[in-house]
Amino acid sequence: MDGVAECVRKDRDFVITQESTSPLRACDARLSCSAPADPESHPPLEATIRRLYFKTIALAPMVRAGTLPLRALALSYGCDVVYSEEIIDRKLMQCVREENRALGTIDFVTTGNRKGDSGKESRRLVFQTVPQEKPRVVFQLGTRNPEWAVEAARLVQHDVAAIDLNMVDRGGKV
């Protein structure tokens, strides 16, 4: 077979079981969850956590590599959950949410305080998503201030499944 060896987790050891044509399923170490399978018996938050983090294939956070095209490709190859690029709270707070009907996307664009080469106010795309990925995209938010984090999270909360908070203390330590 032409493919990537697929791995499964078995008693803390990884064993090669078969070949897979999907590169995203290579070494798929799925977590086991002892929670009951009935999601109706749990509050919505617990069901969301189980759906996003247990027995899940994820496109993990990567620097400058969590844009919409890569996330869409990863989902098409079988990922269950994808992460956005880390976006700093202050940058997101400078954005407006726009629905781009031509592309079918939801865009978070800077409001254009700076002038570009043409002398016109420049606008920059900071985050882009589509409604179809909402239940499977985790937004990475970088912050050093809890109040800013809450304000920024409120801007995207209805367009993503979860928010991954990366907090740095005021001394610059993670």
Quick one: pLDDT at residue 2?
33
* In the predicted structure, residue 51 carries a pLDDT above the cut 90: no
What is the C-alpha end-to-end distance of the chain, expressed in Å? 44
Tens digits of residue pLDDT in 124-144:
999 999 999 999 999 999 999
In Å, what is the CA distance from 31 to each residue of 50, 109, 120, 150?
A: 10, 37, 51, 30
**DSSP string covering 28-79, please?**
--PPP--S-S-GGGS-HHHHHHHHHHSS--EE---TT---HHHHHHHHHTT-
pLDDT at 114: 60
Mean pLDDT in the chain?
74
Domain of 59, in residue numbers: 44-111+123-167
Please report whether residue 8 resides in a domain.
no
pLDDT value at position 173?
A: 55
Q: Is residue 140 part of a domain?
A: yes
For residue 2, being part of any structural domain is answered with no
The CATH number for 79's domain is: 3.20.20.70
Amino acid 112: pLDDT: 67
- Residue 10 phi/psi, 5-degree rounding, is -145, 110
Residue 35 maps to a domain: no
Least confident of 28-32, 57-61, 97-101, 119-123: 28-32
pLDDT of residue 142: 93
Q: Mean pLDDT lowest for which of 100-109, 113-122, 126-135?
A: 113-122
Q: Domains in the chain: how many in total?
A: 1
pTM tops 0.85, yes or no: no
How sure is the predictor about 118, in pLDDT bands with cuts at 50, 70 and 90? low
| pLDDT tens sequence across 54-92 | 778 888 877 778 899 999 999 999 999 999 999 999 999
Please report the pLDDT score of residue 27 as a whole number: 30
Kindly state whether residue 132 falls inside one of the protein's structural domains. yes
Query: What band does 39 get if pLDDT is binned at 50, 70 and 90?
Result: very low
